[in-house]
A and B are shown apart, each in its own frame.
Chain A
Amino acid sequence: SYVLTQPPSVSVAPGKTARITCGGDNIGSKSVHWYQQKPGQAPVLLISYDSDRPSGIPERFSGSNSGNTATLTISRVEAGDEADFYCQVWDGYSDHVVFGGGTKLTVL
């Protein structure tokens, strides 16, 4: 089955840029979605189809996907961005959904 690999944690100072990676075999050929989950809350769709921002998501959040790595970039990080972030793809062959293991973003 398809596997997505994320770093368990990323730390960044306020105002700086955070990059969270999601690795997978030829992931660039798939559409990657990103979710943000704050403690005690349901996940929120942050980025869909590699780089599309749903309505209401700040422009500070962006995504890219190429080769074996997809990346979520958070510019001008704020304290309120602290959360767990998950990448997700659809394996069209099996029609199964796969989540990455999640990355905890800490704002220093």
Chain B
Amino acid sequence: QVQLVQSGAEVKKPGASVKVSCKASGYIFNGHYMHWVRQAPGQGLEWMGWMNPNGGVTKYAQRFQGRVTMTRDTSISTAYMELSRLRSDDTAVYYCARDLSLRDFDYWGQGTLVTVSS
């Protein structure tokens, strides 16, 4: 069965970086784009970008350009999302989500809470 298992919660200081991992299993990792979506406390879903594991091509939402980097290690079927220059308003739960066919997300990770606080 398809599973996306994310790394654990993180606490970071403003200005630092955070790298969240998402280990995929139960399907061919290279066969599906991986997206990252975040959700601030009490707020809605916000799309951050996608990565094509087959080649590593990425597309980022405008507001994260220059601060986010999405990568992967195909040898261990794991996707990564790194966000730099963290601010307090980056405090959120970060999800990875598998792209089923054309930007519809059929499987989601369990979420990783990133807290940015001095």
Which A positions have Cβ atoms within 8 angstroms of B?
1, 31, 33, 35, 37, 42-45, 48-49, 54, 84, 86, 88, 90, 95-102
| B47 contacts A96, C-beta separation under 8 Å | yes
A45 touches B105 (CB 8 A): yes
Contact A45 B106 (CB under 8 A): yes
Specify which of B45, B61, B62, B102 is in contact with A43 (CB 8 Å cutoff): B45
The secondary-structure label for the interface of chain A is strand
Interface of chain B: mostly helix, strand, loop or mixed? strand
Residues of chain A with a CB closer than 8 A to B109's CB: 42
* B80 interface residue (CB < 8 Å to A): no
B103 contacts chain A at the CB level, 8 A cutoff? yes
B35 contacts which chain A residues (CB < 8 A)?
Answer: 97
* Inter-chain contact B59/A49, CB cutoff 8 Å: no
CB-CB under 8 A from B106, the residues of chain A are 45, 48, 54
CB A89 to nearest CB in B, in angstroms, measures 8
9 A-B pairs in the complex with CB atoms less than 8 angstroms apart? A33-B103, A48-B100, A49-B104, A88-B45, A88-B105, A97-B50, A97-B103, A101-B44, A102-B44
